[in-house]
Amino acid sequence: MENLIRELLRREFLSTPLSTRRRESCANLGDASHGKKLRRGTSPMVLISPSLLAADFARLGEALLVIKEAGASMVHVDVMDGHFVPDISVGQPVVRSLRKATDLVLDLHLLIERPERYVPEFVEIGADRIAVHAESTPNLHKVLGVIRAGGVQAGLALNPSTAVENVSDALGAIDYLLILSADLGFANPSFLPRTLAKVQTACALRRERGLDFAIQVEGSILQEHIEALAQAGADILVADSDIFPKDPKTRLADMIRLAASARQVSRV
């Protein structure tokens, strides 16, 4: 099965017209290690950002320790309100506790309606990165500005059905673009192979316009997806259900090694 998935991903990548495929790395190689907090463009590998949503919520402290011991520098936290997506996850009290419990980079993904109502508080309680959805607010540029004004990296998240071209005018106002590779908030979502083309499009736009945003991908990413996503131009991959159910430290360490072998520069 893994070989079949890998072959399908390879065909998806190769079937994309050469004019839109990545011909060169999206940044120059640097020299930092995966386990340190990194400056933009200094890590010679794709970064893995483990998602706490897949961990046991009764043992989040243990999950943070596992993430750090495995060599990751970042932890991903999905904040869901039950409206923008069906599920409800964590809110400000949990994020505040996470900030006190770890020095890992706190990578927040706000899957909530009208995020401008809550962004200032998430900035205040210690988020390092905050992504808001283009589909969730009519005040996109304003909320991105508020995030950046607070000294936090601003991310723009896209649902699987939203094209990168639809937000092209906002790309100059972000630090990273978060592309969903599955429909989050639903039972058993599967990785969408067409995500590769979206990553390629984002990478091409970044290069053509001389921009410096990172490309992050989230949603049902397995080990066999890492190479294809890196080749397409992704810098950061959010890992979830492929890590935590069984032997998470080993699974995460394996994903980090695979990401390192891709030799892509991560722009954190």
Assess if residue 196 is contained within a domain.
yes
- As for how many domains the chain has, the answer is 1
- What's this model's pTM, rounded to 2 decimal places? 0.83
- Higher per-residue confidence, 136 vs 60: 136
In this predicted structure, the answer to whether residue 44 has a pLDDT above a threshold of 60 is no
Mean pLDDT of 188-204: 94
**Would you state the pLDDT for residue 266?**
56
Residue 112, token pair as written in the block: 């909530």
| Token pair 């192979």: residue | 193
In this predicted structure, the answer to whether residue 189 has a pLDDT above a threshold of 70 is yes
Assess if residue 268 is contained within a domain.
no
Assess if residue 126 is contained within a domain.
yes
Q: In what order do the strands lie in the sheet with 176-180?
A: 47-50, 236-239, 214-218, 176-180, 153-158, 129-133, 105-111, 74-80
**Which CATH number covers residue 155?**
3.20.20.70
How many CB atoms are closer than 10 A to CB 125?
17
Assess if residue 241 is contained within a domain.
yes
